[in-house]
Amino acid sequence: MSAIAGILADRGYAVSGSDPRDNAVLQDLRSRGVRVFREQSATTIAAIRSGTSTQPLVVVSSAVPASNPELMEARRMGLQIAHRSDVLAALIASQNAVAVAGSHGKTTTSTLLASLLHATDHDPTAVIGGVVPAFGSNGRNGTGALLVAEADESDGSLVKFQAWLGVITNLELDHTDHYPDLAALIATLQRFGRGCRQLLANRDCPILREHFNASHWWSTDSSDGVDFAALPLELNGDSTVAAFFEQGEQVGTFRLPLPGLHNLSNATAAMAACRLHGVSFAELRLAVEGLQAPGRRFDYRGTWCMRQVVDDYAHHPSEVAATLAMARLMLSSGRSPLPEPPQRLLAVFQPHRYSRTAEFLEPFAEALCQADEVLLAPLYAAGESPIAGISSGALAAAIQRIRPDLSVTVTDSLEQLTDAVSERSLPGDLVLAMGAGDVNGLWGRLQNREDPLATFPVAA
C-alpha cells in the first residue's frame, strides 16, 4: 500500500491514508506530499472530502477488515472502492512491467531485479513488498521503460496483472487460509502466467516443471535445456561465485555478494529478466557486485553483548530451512557478511497463523532441527481463530520427537522470549529471529537488557 501511495503522489495525485503507527516509511510518504492521518475513524473520510468536489477513490488491501470505520463510512457515502491489486494492475497496464510471483523469493528477486536495472541506468518504477536498499524505499517512480512489481499470490488477486514478463520463482502449498489445496494454487498461478505476454520460470522447481509451459526457463542446477543458468563455482558464507550460461553456452562468471543457493536462484531470475530486456551481461556482471538483499531478509540488526542479531521474514518451512542452511554455511566456512563469523546458531522462531502451522507442523520441526538451540515465541494469529492442539508448544514437541537432544524453549510472551534470549544465548552466537509477525522487535527489546555476564563477579 505504501509503495503505491508514494508512486501515485510522485505522479501528481492527491493521496491520503491512515496508520496509527509512525515510522520511516510514513515519514517518507509525508515528505512526498501524502497526507497521513494517525487515527482510523469515519471522520477521516469527511476530512479527505472537504475542500474538493472530486470524489476520492478508496483503496483497500485484503488486510483491511469489513469492520474498519473508514471503509464502513466510505460505503455509507457511496464512494468508489477498489482493491490494492486493481490499482497495481492499472500501473502494470500503463507500461512494460515485470511481475514477480512465486511462493518464496518474490521480494528478494524483485528487489534484485529493480536494483540491477537501477545500477545499469534503466531507472525502473518499482512496487515491492520490502525496502530496496538501492532506493531506501519499497516504491519508486522511475523514468525508465520498465515497472517491476511483486505479485502476491496470497489472495489470488495477481490474476489481474497482465505484464510484459511474468516471473515465477517456485511453487508449493501455502496460504491455506485462501487455497483449499495445491491444485487451486497451481490453477491460480497458471492463470497469472497466461495473462503475461511471456513467462520466465524456475526449471529447478518440480511443480513448475510439471504444470507450466514457460516461454523461458532458468536453473542453478544444469545449463541443459534452459535459456539461462548460473552454476555455482564457489559457495561461501559471504558470497557465491557462479558461471552464467545462455542457451547452454557459458558467457562469463560473476560474484554474488549474497550467500546461499536460494539467493543464487533469485539473482539468476533477476539477471535473466534483465537480459530479456536487453541489458548486456558485461553491465550485469559489474552491477551484481553491488547487490543487497531487501529489508528483513537476513537483516543484520546489530551486536548485543557479543551476540549478533539477525532478523528474517522466513515464515514457511522452505524459507526457514533455506535461511538456516545459509547460516550453517557461515559457521562451516568461517566466512560471513556479519562483522564476525558466528560460532553457534540460536534460532528464534515465531509461528505465523494457526492454519499454516497446522498444515506444516512437521516440516517446520524438521527445518528448525538445523539450529544448535531453538527458542519459540507465542504463535502469531494474524487475525485467525485458534485451532485446537496447534501452538508453539505443539511445534516444540514435534521438534523434540525428531531431535530429542536439541534444546527447545517455549515462551508465553515477547517479554519472556527476550528473557530467554538473554539467558540462553552465548557470546559468539548468531541469534536468528524468524517470522512474519512481531518477532522482528527482538533487537529493540534486547537494547534494554544488561549483559548477562555483568551480574557475575569477576575474579581478582
Tens-digit pLDDT profile for residues 50-92:
878 899 999 999 889 999 999 999 999 999 999 999 999 999 9
Which of 399, 402, 407 minimizes the C-alpha distance to 373?
Answer: 407
Bridge partners of residue 149, in order along the sequence: 99, 127
Residue 155 has pLDDT above 60, yes or no: yes
Residue 139 CA to chain centroid, in angstroms? 14
- Show the cell assigned to 282: 558485461
- Indicate the helix (H) or strand (E) that contains 421: helix 414-424
pLDDT tens-digit readout, 86-143:
999 999 999 999 999 999 999 999 999 999 999 999 999 999 999 999 999 999 999 9
Contacts of 457 (CB under 8 A, 6+ apart): none
Write out the three cell numbers for 70: 473508514
Cβ 354 vs Cβ 384: under 8 Å? yes
Query: What integer pLDDT is reported at residue 53 of this predicted model?
Result: 87
pLDDT confidence of residue 439: 97
pLDDT tens, residue by residue, 190-216: 999 999 999 999 999 999 999 999 999
The CATH topology of domain 299-455 is Protein-Tyrosine Phosphatase; Chain A (3.90.190)
- Integer Cα distance of 260 and 263 in angstroms: 5
Edge-to-edge order in the sheet of strand 228-235: 137-140, 125-132, 146-150, 96-101, 165-168, 199-202, 216-219, 228-235, 240-246, 249-256
pLDDT confidence of 23, banded at 50, 70, 90? confident
pLDDT at 458: 42
Cell (9 digits) for 46: 469527511
Query: What residue has cell string 512491467?
Result: 97
* Unique residue bearing C-alpha cell 500503463: 94
Mean pLDDT over residues 347-366, rounded?
A: 97
Provide the percentage of residues in the chain whose pLDDT is more than 70. Answer: 98
Intrachain domains 2-79 and 86-288 with the same fold: no
Mean pLDDT over 397-403 rounds to: 98
Tell me how long the chain is.
460
Using the predicted structure, report yes or no on whether residue 188 has a pLDDT greater than 60.
yes
The mean pLDDT value for 219-245 works out to 97
pLDDT at 435 over 60: yes
pLDDT for residue 399 is more than 60:
yes
pLDDT of residue 453: 62
Q: Give the CATH superfamily of 86-288.
A: Mur-like, catalytic domain (3.40.1190.10)
* Per-residue pLDDT at 457: 43
What CATH class is the domain 2-79?
alpha beta
pLDDT at site 459: 44
Q: For the chain, which residues make up each domain, given as ranges?
A: 2-79, 86-288, 299-455
Tell me what pLDDT residue 363 has. Answer: 98
Q: What are phi and psi of 191, to 5 degrees?
A: -65, -40
| Residue tagged 506444516 (cell numbers) | 360
CB within 8 Å of 396: residues ≥ 6 apart: 374, 376, 408, 409, 410
Pull the grid cell for residue 415. 517479554
Secondary-structure percent of the chain, ordered helix, strand, coil, rounded to 5: 35, 25, 40
- Whole-number Å distance between alpha carbons of 293 and 142: 20
Categorize the per-residue pLDDT at 448 as very low, low, confident or very high, splitting at 50, 70 and 90.
Answer: confident
pLDDT tens per residue across span 298-323: 999 999 999 999 999 999 999 999 99
